[in-house]
C-alpha cells in the first residue's frame, strides 16, 4: 500500500497529459471555426504595414547606435 502512494502520481501523469491535449485541441478547434480566412488584400495590407514598421524600427536602431 505504501508503494501505491509512490506510483500513483507516476500513473496519473500520462493520463492527465492526454486529457490536457484533448481539451487544448477542443479549444483550438472551437476558435478556428468562428474565424474566416483573411483574403489576399487584407494579407497584403497587413504585410505592407509590418514592413513600414520594420523600416521605422531599423532607422531608430541605427540612430541609437550612432548616438552611442
Place of cell 548616438: 67
| Sign of the torsion angle spanned by Cα atoms 55, 61, 64, 66 | negative
The pLDDT, as a whole number, for residue 35 is 61
Q: Which residue has the higher pLDDT, 37 or 48?
A: 48
Average pLDDT over residues 5-13: 82
For all residues of the chain together, what is the average pLDDT? Answer: 85
Domain edges within the chain: 1-35, 38-68
Q: Give yes or no for residue 51 having a pLDDT over 70.
A: yes
The DSSP symbol for 39 reads -
Instruction: Mark out the alpha helices in the chain (DSSP H runs).
Output: 2-34, 40-67
Q: Which residues contact 46 (CB under 8 A, 6 or more apart)?
A: 38
* pLDDT tens digits for range 14-46: 888 899 999 998 888 766 655 667 788 889 999
Q: Compute the distance between CA of residue 46 and CA of residue 28 in angstroms, rounded to an integer.
A: 23
Amino acid at each position: 500500500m505504501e508503494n501505491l502512494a509512490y506510483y500513483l502520481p507516476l500513473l496519473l501523469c500520462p493520463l492527465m497529459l492526454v486529457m490536457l491535449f484533448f481539451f487544448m485541441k477542443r479549444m483550438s478547434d472551437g476558435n478556428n471555426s468562428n474565424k474566416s480566412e483573411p483574403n489576399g488584400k487584407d494579407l497584403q495590407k497587413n504585410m505592407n504595414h509590418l514592413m513600414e514598421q520594420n523600416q521605422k524600427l531599423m532607422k531608430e536602431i541605427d540612430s541609437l547606435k550612432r548616438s552611442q
